[in-house]
Amino acid sequence: MKVLIFGAGQLARMMYLAGAPLGIEVSAVDVGARIVVDPVSKMPLSITLDEAMLEADAISVEFEHIPEDLLDQARKTGKLLPGMEAILTGADRVREKRLLERLAVPNCGHRIVDDVAQLDEVVDALGEKLILKASRDGYDGYGQWRLTCREDLPALKQELAGLDLQAVPLVVEQMSLFDREVSLVGIRSKQGELKFYPLAENLHHQGQLHVSIAPAPACSAALTAQAQDIFTRLSEGLGYVGVLAVEFFQVGEQLLVNEIAPRVHNSGHWSMQGADTCQFENHLRAVCGLPLGDTKAAAASAMVNIIGYDKLNLELLKISGCHLHLYGKSVRAKRKMGHINLVGDNYARLGRTMLELADYLPDEHFPHLRTEGQKLQ
């Protein structure tokens, strides 16, 4: 079978690698240039985009920010999975908030702002601790501004003055004083069957994911049930097919949805070694109409992102249960270069493995690794 993925980054590459043993041929689309490329080398393939769409059994995406005309062209083939509405919802925070409201899914208090003059009222209504998010094209914390006190509002307004908020409004949210961040990665098949990976705990630094631990430690059955119920409502509400990720803030025993990602997700990378079937294979199985794979997980896994760093000492490969995944990119600040998966028989052992790994990596580039390792061991 042939699957065409819009986007030619590491997620398309990992789908390609997962598809090969199943005889699923994955090609990627450089959506800027609108050409079909090899997902590993990124070299153009001798096929036009139109031909590739015609040939494909399924068309999917590795990121949500795809030009709408291209998505529409894919939709018309009847092969786009997940569907157009799901992708547009993941790409636009205003649509996303509307969906959450329609399905009565708990999320942070918020307002939609299309003129900076509205911000004073928003501060009156929501308080002065706010996070402002461009409704489109944001990822890894880009396109976000924070307000911590009312006195900073005039300066913030100036900073926002150049933006066309009529075209791309802001979603202004209350800063949540969450206990932690968790995410649920799951899969919905064409027949509506659902499978879930365990909740992962996600540790961020400067708006970017650095470490995921799965299953998230100290998760009650009720918390997992709450996450799965929200996932079910969202995926059924969207008629979703494929892997979907839902990011949550955990406040006590309550989950608030932060955002959804209509695709395979960084907080599911641990599943490559830590689960029976990884998220990349399961996404391909779902969009190809094949039976879904088991999501049963190892006792304890961690995923450590390699961000803006390329001085790895490959001796770290001798650590037991340690697996390196490099994406073949040149280094740049804040760029995801690869990740390291660690698998353990229990949390204590995983913690010790994290500390072993931390000894090979500079703390300043790998926030959370040592401190989380210490907590778990």
- List the interface residues with Mg ion, window 93-132 (CB under 5 A): none
Contacts of residues 127-132 at CB distance under 8 Å and 24 or more positions apart, as own/partner, are 127/174, 128/153, 129/174, 129/175, 130/172, 130/173, 130/174, 130/175, 131/172, 131/173, 131/174, 131/175, 132/156, 132/160, 132/170, 132/171, 132/172, 132/173
The residues that touch ligand ATP, with contacts defined as CB under 6 A, are 108, 131, 133, 138-142, 173, 175-176, 181, 204, 207, 247, 258-259
Nearer to Mg ion by Cβ, of 202 and 282: the residue is 202
User: Cβ 180 to Mg ion, closest distance in Å?
Assistant: 14
Nearer to ligand ATP by Cβ, of 22 and 175: the residue is 175
- List the interface residues with Mg ion, window 252-281 (CB under 5 A): 259
308 labeled binding residue: no
Query: What is the phi/psi pair of residue 169, to 5°?
Result: -65, 165
User: Cβ 250 to ligand ATP, closest distance in Å?
Assistant: 12
User: Cβ 314 to ligand ATP, closest distance in Å?
Assistant: 28
97 labeled binding residue: no
Are residues 4 and 58 in contact, defined by beta-carbon separation less than 8 angstroms? Answer: yes
347 labeled binding residue: no
Nearer to ligand ATP by Cβ, of 131 and 361: the residue is 131
- Pick from 340, 261, 326, 211: nearest CA to 61: 261
Judged by phi (left if over 0) then psi (alpha if -120 to 50, else beta), residue 110 lies in beta
Nearer to ligand ATP by Cβ, of 174 and 224: the residue is 174
In the block, tokens 């004073």 appear at 120
Nearer to Mg ion by Cβ, of 190 and 204: the residue is 204
Stretch (H or E) spanning 84: helix 84-91
User: Cβ 270 to Mg ion, closest distance in Å?
Assistant: 17
- Pick from 128, 12, 104, 103: nearest CA to 59: 12
240 labeled binding residue: no
Pick one of Mg ion, ligand ATP, none as the site partner of residue 207 (Cβ within 5 to 8 A by kind). Answer: ligand ATP
**Residues flagged as binding site for ATP:** 93, 133, 138-144, 181, 204, 258-259
